[in-house]
Amino acid sequence: MKKVFGFMRATIVAAVLGGLVSLSPASARADDLLTIGSDAPALDVEHWVQNGEGKFGKVTKFEKDKVYVVEFWATWCGPCVASMPHIVETQKKYAEKGVQIVSISNEPKETVEEFLDRKVPRSEKEMTFRDLTKSYCLTTDPDGSVNESYMEAAGQNGIPCAFIVGKDGKIEWIGHPMQMDEPLKSVVEGKWDRKAFADEFKEQQEAEALQMKVQRDVGLLLRDKKFKEALEKFDELTSPVKSPEMKLQFAMMKLRLHQIASSEQSEVAKTLKDTLAMASKDPMMSNQVAWTVWEMTEQGQLKKDKELLGEALKVAQAAADKLEGEPKAMTLDTVAHLNFGLGNIADAIKAQKAAIAIMGDKDEYKAFLEELEEEANKKK
């Protein structure tokens, strides 16, 4: 049985599991990051496809006392396309308040033009994307120069991503365009606390920069099958981390590294115990780590360790007591598997029935219950 959890960014997991992420030097150095309070780089956009029906001119340098939103998107990016109506409404709302939105793709102009001629799904008036986005500046920069000076320089990996440039030409906010309403309003009204957000964002940004450095440096060693060196490099890079959330993320990454490197059982068990202790404060994370203990044991990647299974069971049961709905059912399913691993068949059946009571006769849950009941019958 296999569970899928959205614990870590897929890009990080993929890199650790054998991929190799190509990063620019700027994106890997936290000290050099473009961040909140930095001067916004000039725009060198190649193709201005939409210009707000003539309301907006091309932007290279940012004018004083005007506010800009520089947003990065792509035609293939579902969330980018889904954000378009919101961007339209935002531009219309602030058009008369000195706000200009510039959306930038790095695809060929032909690709963008073709996309704009497509019809918007479920639109009432057979509207095309060209019609939809005509109120703001939609552009493309195939040489990637603006992407490099913004996205890579700021260590941002995902799109859509928006940068709010304030009235003094400095970056006020970076994030998903669907979350920019309050920051943009405050910037326009002159009420934005740039320093407070900068402190918060810098910590997050530095953590992401470290994640990217781990991807790159450890990924290179994994590519060359230098597993011992990869683990040593991983410990060297992550040992200074103090954030509990980040420590937990890196602990989970280390478990995957152990799997790849076929590490000594004692090393794997120690990492699992440490990770369980860190995860115990977060019910969802508790379930993730407890399931990992079971999964690694079941798949033979870890010798059966009743003490470790018992610790995982204790953490999972405590988490289940705090959760509701589907997360509770998933955690009860984990509890059932761990009890099964420990030979506690009656307790396993009880937990699995409780999970099914929440989820209904979900096939995989029902199948495991049948397996448990067969096991119980054998012991009669």
Q: Is the pLDDT of residue 30 over 70?
A: no
What whole-number percentage of the chain has pLDDT above 90?
Answer: 66
Those residues with Cβ within 8 angstroms of residue 333's Cβ, 6 or more apart along the chain or in another chain: 351, 352, 355, 365, 368
Q: Is the pLDDT of residue 208 over 80?
A: no
Task: Summarize the confidence of residues 180-205 as an average pLDDT.
Answer: 90
125-143 per-position pLDDT tens digit: 789 999 999 999 999 999 9
3-state secondary structure labels for all residues of 24-59: CHHHHCHHHCCCCCCECCCCCCCEEEEECCCCCCCC
* pLDDT score of 31: 57
36-50 per-position pLDDT tens digit: 999 999 999 999 999
Pick the closest to residue 332 from 352, 302, 312 (CA basis).
352
Q: Is the pLDDT of residue 24 over 60?
A: no
What strands lie across the sheet with 161-165, from one edge to the other? 47-51, 137-140, 99-105, 67-72, 161-165, 171-175
* pLDDT score of 137: 96
Q: What is the dihedral of CA 246, 248, 250, 252, to 10 degrees?
A: -150
DSSP 125: T
Which amino acid appears at position 58 of this protein?
K
* pLDDT score of 125: 74
Please tell me the least confidently modeled range out of 6-20, 42-56, 236-250, 317-331. Answer: 6-20
pLDDT, the chain, mean: 87
Query: Can you tell me whether residue 91 is helix, strand or coil?
Result: helix
* pLDDT score of 26: 37
Asked whether 215 and 16 are in contact (CB, 8 A), the reply is: yes
Q: Please state, in angstroms and as integers, the Cα–Cα distance from residue 342 to each residue in 301, 335, 356, 376, following that order.
A: 17, 11, 21, 14
Q: Going from the N-terminus, what domains does the chain have, and what CATH number goes with each?
A: 33-192 (3.40.30.10), 208-378 (1.25.40.10)
Task: Summarize the confidence of residues 181-187 as an average pLDDT.
Answer: 96
User: Predicted confidence band at 245 (pLDDT cuts at 50, 70, 90)?
Assistant: confident
**Residue 158 exposure: Cα atoms within 13 Å on the Cβ side:** 13
Please tell me the least confidently modeled range out of 82-86, 117-121, 336-340, 376-380. Answer: 376-380
For residue 67 the two structure tokens come to 């506010």
Query: Can you tell me whether residue 197 is helix, strand or coil?
Result: helix
Sign of torsion, CA 86 136 175 167? negative
pTM: 0.59
User: Predicted confidence band at 380 (pLDDT cuts at 50, 70, 90)?
Assistant: low
| Cα–Cα dist 92/97, whole Å | 10
Evaluate the omega torsion of the peptide bond into residue 183 and state whether it is cis, within 30 degrees of 0.
no
Backbone angles phi, psi at 6, to 5 degrees: -90, 45
Please tell me the least confidently modeled range out of 33-37, 203-207, 298-302. Answer: 203-207
Which amino acid appears at position 111 of this protein?
T
* pLDDT score of 311: 95
Task: Summarize the confidence of residues 153-173 as an average pLDDT.
Answer: 93
* pLDDT score of 213: 86
344-360 per-position pLDDT tens digit: 999 999 999 999 999 88
